[in-house]
Structure 1
């Protein structure tokens, strides 16, 4: 359907259809809990571990929905995208499973671990400078050469419908754990694909559950947009949370402006501290971007006190030789 501004917006029914379409190609990732982290935060947290997906990130959901939703005629030229890493990996994975080419534009400074994952799944990489302007200009050249179907990392109804399947699973799994619901779901925000999918699903499935976004202070365009009531974009923000470097677009802004309850920010040090805590007490590998939700929960304890909070851990593709706390 289209909103008041003529933007094509996915529906709850699109999310349900996406879930059926992608089930053969994704994992139903686990929900983990930690009594120690609950005590530290003063609330009960349920961590949805999308870092356990085969390509290591939640974006396999949206990518698979886009790839397997193509007709055979559309799929002949493959798919193309620009991404700092996880969407590129996941789109390459989905394309590999369908047997079609995938062309990706990645920032020159993207973590090597993410480039390696793209290559392992057969993605064909073209590098660009680490700015939104360079990324989009380079991509225009690649798409003109290849003719691949453009699957935007987040500003795409197919992608958002796929990402919405994550919160659907989480709500079902939390109910299976203890029969309860969630007061809030917190997820990282960069371009806003996961947050938009979460809004899409919870607005129908659990309208009383708040959707809260978590963002690095050094890449806080979503926070500033939210407070100003209009889109504000950074061209080249810098943060260790490299998966959150991209700005909101019109479609994701639709969901953020209409459904997000609050956006909180965390400093680089707070993000690293939360990342260490999660590695230690959940005993899982996760990216700095995924630590931002826990960082903002610990920073804003009064806002979450006594609540049941879902936390989406969005990915686990890290360069083990360049962990944030190794920097001098």
Structure 2
């Protein structure tokens, strides 16, 4: 796909204004960790249970009527799928989503319930990008990537515009560090553009920490062969895009990786302390802080990016 423009702060402001017209801000609240006040941004409380609604809305509303009539195609393990399906239904656009056959049942059922067509693929042997691109070409539809798109990045970054406004309204210090889950980097890149004075720390599952390694070496490094299994289905991107990598590398972002046990511990902490249901991929930023892999500091904001869980898997995590 040829990117014709870069994400901009003007685009971020446009996205934030569009989203504010249809959705209330997600809560920003403060809770202490080891005696240090930390702000949490609960994107898990979006109508689709994840931040992906932002990028999907900004992207689809940028399409003209003729383009909308030809439909959209996206690929996702579930949260971007739901965001695109939600926006497409509201705008009267036909949506097709390429999803892994082993995607969490709750994400698949929610996507179908919003009227999208779901096309399965094998995560281990097939490439979703190739399948989606072929479908889009065959149907004359618009491809809506989950992160490799300037409109999507701007839409996700609208969360940062909200954070700044909420901190000011609550007389909180301006964010000094944002800790954010990372898959392809769309949310992290958007936040980096929206909150330029804050340090950016991205967090990934162990073995799937390609953005962390890429930022450390200065070149894009894909996930290695035979990566380990992870409960973080939303964070299983095998290679980040130049678009998101460029934004984060120019901002001096750094990253860390967390274990499966650290992630599950963060889910339990969120349930007990914050009264929130957080999916594994949405809990990794909190996991990194609780595990001491990201140092606490005044002005820290932790992003809780999603809360879509299969109840059986969630019960196991709660049981330790």
After TM superposition, the score normalised by the length of structure 2 is 0.93
Report the Cα distance in structure 1 between the residues aligned to 2:270 and 2:98, rounded to whole angstroms: 31
| Partner residue in 1 for 2:38 | 45
SS at match of 1:300: coil
Task: Count how many residue pairs are aligned between Structure 1 and Structure 2.
Answer: 315
Report the Cα distance in structure 1 between the residues aligned to 2:36 and 2:143, rounded to whole angstroms: 41
Shift of residue 241 of structure 1? 1.0
* C-alpha contact 1:32 1:282 (8 A) present in aligned 2: no
| Partner residue in 1 for 2:244 | 252
Alignment counterpart, residue 113 of structure 1, candidates 92, 102, 106: 106
| Partner residue in 1 for 2:277 | 285
* C-alpha contact 1:26 1:61 (8 A) present in aligned 2: no
After TM superposition, the score normalised by the length of structure 1 is 0.90
The two structures, once aligned, show a CA RMSD in angstroms of 2.1
Report the Cα distance in structure 1 between the residues aligned to 2:317 and 2:15, rounded to whole angstroms: 38
SS at match of 1:318: coil
| Partner residue in 1 for 2:201 | 212
* C-alpha contact 2:106 2:310 (8 A) present in aligned 1: yes
Shift of residue 306 of structure 1? 3.7
Report the Cα distance in structure 2 between the residues aligned to 1:176 and 1:218, rounded to whole angstroms: 40
Unaligned ranges ≥5, structure 1: 1-5
| Partner residue in 1 for 2:178 | 185
Report the Cα distance in structure 1 between the residues aligned to 2:58 and 2:278, rounded to whole angstroms: 24
Q: Give per-residue Cα distances to partners, 1:194-225, cap 9 Å, x unaligned.
A: 0010111112xxx2x11111111121111111
SS at match of 1:178: coil
Report the Cα distance in structure 1 between the residues aligned to 2:319 and 2:97, rounded to whole angstroms: 29
Report the Cα distance in structure 2 between the residues aligned to 1:141 and 1:213, rounded to whole angstroms: 32
* C-alpha contact 1:218 1:267 (8 A) present in aligned 2: no
* C-alpha contact 2:264 2:318 (8 A) present in aligned 1: no
For 1:50-61, list aligned pairs within 5 A. 50-61=43-54
| Partner residue in 1 for 2:19 | 22
Q: Give per-residue Cα distances to partners, 1:87-126, cap 9 Å, x unaligned.
A: 0100000000001100100011110000011011111000
SS at match of 1:33: strand
Shift of residue 131 of structure 1? 4.2
SS at match of 2:170: helix
Shift of residue 307 of structure 1? 2.2
| Partner residue in 1 for 2:136 | 143
Report the Cα distance in structure 2 between the residues aligned to 1:132 and 1:313, rounded to whole angstroms: 31
Report the Cα distance in structure 1 between the residues aligned to 2:63 and 2:274, rounded to whole angstroms: 38
* C-alpha contact 2:216 2:254 (8 A) present in aligned 1: no
| Partner residue in 2 for 1:8 | 5
Alignment counterpart, residue 273 of structure 1, candidates 265, 279, 301: 265
Report the Cα distance in structure 2 between the residues aligned to 1:225 and 1:155, rounded to whole angstroms: 16
Report the Cα distance in structure 2 between the residues aligned to 1:213 and 1:311, rounded to whole angstroms: 10
* C-alpha contact 2:286 2:304 (8 A) present in aligned 1: no
SS at match of 1:215: strand
| Partner residue in 2 for 1:3 | none
For 1:52-131, list aligned pairs within 5 A. 52-131=45-124
Sort the Cα spacing of 1:24 and 1:31 in 2 relative to 1 into closer, same or farther, 3 A: same
